[in-house]
Structure 1
Amino acid sequence: MTYVIVHALAPIFVIMLLGFYAGKAKMVDNKNVSLLNILVMDFALPAALFTATVQTPWSGIVGQAPLIVVLVLAMWIAYAAFYFLCTKVFRKSPQDAAVLTLTVALPNYAALGLPILGSVLGESSGTSLSVAVSIACGSVLMTPFCLLILEREKARESGGEQKSSLAMLPVLMWRSVTKPIVWGPLLGVVLSALGIRMPELLLSTIKPLGLSATASALFLTGLILSARRLQINKAVVVASLTKLLIQPLIAWGLVIALGLHGQIAVTAILMIALSAGFFGVVFGNRFGVASPDAEAVLLISSVLCILTLPLFISLTSGI
């Protein structure tokens, strides 16, 4: 099993390393990555998420309701608790806290979901559906929290009229929803619910763009990291422990509370037990927010999940 996890993580480290090398070698300007950021956030990732959600049958999404409940609650609980810690205990700015918290709360479904689930449960249409649903949950029900905070602080810094967060909520929600990274997967879910099938020509046209999403995002992350120094502090340690141990245990508690068992229970726990995702770092860069702690958690959790994932795989074998 350790070999399977290493095999799944290897492409992540290699592509990030290539981006890191490109930045250090000055092959790419690692201090001005706005163009690559636009490619990733406005085109590649939205195309990949739209394709994944629109091709997921609505009946399949409804059938995955218990998985959705566990994933969403585990992500929301971790996000709320750790955002509180970031702002009240670690005294971080709302922008930095939003980026770090999204990195902690949103697992790396896109890169690790299918390899890990496939190795544990076997590759099947059900496994692929679970991964697609997980990606949809993260992109539609998690990323807007981070975007709302980043948009709110951006509006406040622009020098406009100071309003309460509640008063700004409708405008902020509209700004978030209009971003391709949100409306792409959301549109896919809506079309799936309506039973509208996309023409194969359209899907095959955007497929190459979607296939480049993960690689582009990882390369961009490595490029961003090349301009930083790895810093380990209390926030990074707590964040890493939260991602690798506490959040999966929250998912485990939810599974027990809901009386779930079998494949759906194993899937829910293992998907949450994945390492931190790269969305937080990429989002922050798009808004000009550098979070060294989020970057450190991304690297540390990707390495240490080689130890924690086998632990949770062993523990869930009897569920």
Structure 2
Amino acid sequence: MTYIIIHALAPIFVIMLLGFYAGKAKMVDNINVALLNVFVMDFALPAALFSATVKTPWLGIVQQSPLIVVLVLSMWVGWFAIYFMATWLFHKSPQDAAVLTLTVALPNYAALGLPILGSVLGEGPSTSLSVAVSIACGSVLLTPFCLLILEREKALAAGNGQQSGIGMLPILMWRSVTKPIVWGPLLGVVLSGLGIGMPEIVLAAIKPLGLAATAAALFLTGVILSARKLSINGAVIVGSITKLLIQPLIAWGIVLAMGLHGQVAITAILMIALSAGFFGVVFGNRFGAQSPDAEAVLLITSLLCILSLPLFITLTSGM
């Protein structure tokens, strides 16, 4: 099992290392990465998420509702706990806290979901559906929290802070929803719910963008990391422990409270037990909000999940 996990993680580290090398060697500008950011955040990832959700049958999404409940509650609890900790305990700025929180709360469904789940439960339509639903949950029901905070701080920095926080909320929500990274998967869910299928020619046309999404995001993350000096502090340690141990245990508690068992219980816990995702780092860079803590958590959890994932795979084997 450890070999399978290492095999799944290998592409992540190789692609990030290539981006890191390209940035350090000045093959690409590791300070001004706006062009790469636009490609990843406005084209590649939205195309991948739209394709994943629009091809997911609505009945399949409804049947996955117990999984959705566990994933969303686990991510929301992790989000609010880490954000409170980052701002009140470690005195991080709202932007830094938002990036760190999204990095911790949103597992790396996109890169690790299918390899890990497929190795445990077997590859098949149900496994692919579970991963697609997981990605949709994170994209539609978690990432807007981070976008709202980043948009709010951007507005305040631009001198548009004369309105109250509540007064700004509709504007901020609209700005978040109009981001391709949010409306892409949301549009796919809506079309799936309405029973509207996309022409095959459309899906074929955007397929290359979707295939490039994860690789481009990981390469961009490596480029961003090449311009930083990583350090370990209290926020990084607490964030890493939360991601690898506490958040999966929260998911386990929700599973037990709901009386779930079998494949859906195993899927929910293992999806949450994945390492930190790269969305937070990429989002932050798009808004000029760098978080060294988030970058450190991303690397540490990606390494240590080689130990934590086998633990949860073993613990859930009898469910």
Superposition TM-score tier, normalisation by shorter sequence: over 0.9
Matched, 1:124 2:92: no
Partner of 2:63: 63
Tell me the secondary structure at the aligned position of residue 212 of structure 1. Answer: helix
Instruction: Give the match's secondary structure for 2:317.
Output: helix
1:260 aligned to 2:277? Answer: no
Determine the structure 1 residue equivalent to 2:89: 89
Deviation digits for residues 125-170 of structure 1 (CA, Å, limit 9, x no counterpart): 0000000000000000000000000000110110124222221110
Counterpart in the other structure of 2:189: 189
Q: What pairs up with 1:1-319 in 2 under 5 angstroms?
A: 1-319=1-319
Give every structure 1 segment of 4 or more consecutive aligned residues whose post-TM-superposition deviation is greater than 4 Å: none
Q: Secondary structure of 1:224's match? A: helix
- In the alignment, the residues of structure 2 paired with residue 116 and residue 214 of structure 1 have an alpha-carbon distance, to the nearest angstrom, of 16
AA in 2 matched with 1:188: G
**Aligned partner letter, 1:237:** I
Q: List per-residue Cα deviations over 1:208-247 (Å, max 9, x = no partner).
A: 0110000000000000000001100000000000000000
CA shift in 2, pair 1:168/1:61, >3 Å? same
Distance in 1 of aligned mates of 2:81 and 2:181: 25
Q: Secondary structure at the match of 1:318?
A: coil
Alpha-carbon offset, residue 8 of structure 1: 0.2
TM-score, L = length of structure 1: 1.00
- What is the alpha-carbon distance in structure 1 between the residues aligned to residue 210 and residue 81 of structure 2? 33
Instruction: Give structure 1 stretches of 5+ with no counterpart.
Output: none
Give percent identity, aligned residues only.
80
Whole-angstrom distance in 1 between the partners of 2:55 and 2:76: 26
Which segments of 5 or more consecutive residues in structure 2 lack a partner in the other structure? Answer: none
With the length of structure 2 as denominator, give the TM-score of the two structures: 1.00
Q: Structure 1 residues 85 and 40 mapped into 2: Cα distance closer, same or farther (>3 Å)?
A: same
Distance 1:111 1:161, change over 3 A: closer
Give a deviation string over 1:74-106, Cα, whole Å, max 9, x none.
000000011000010000000000000000000
Letter in 2 for 1:169: L
Amino acid at match of 2:166: L
Q: How far apart in 2 are the matches of 1:241 and 1:29? A: 33
Q: What CA distance in whole angstroms lies between the structure 2 residues aligned with 1:119 and 1:22? A: 32
Distance across 2 between alignment mates of 1:265 and 1:161? 45
Q: Which deviations, in whole Å up to 9, do the C-alpha atoms of 1:110-138 show, x marking residues without a partner?
A: 00000000000000100000000000000
Letter in 2 for 1:25: A
- The separation in 1 between residues aligned to 2:292 and 2:164, in whole angstroms, is 29
For 2:165 and 2:306, how far apart are their aligned partners in 1? 40
User: How many equivalent residue pairs?
Assistant: 319
Q: Distance in 1 between matches of 2:92 and 2:85?
A: 9
Structure 2 counterpart of 1:57, one-letter code:
P
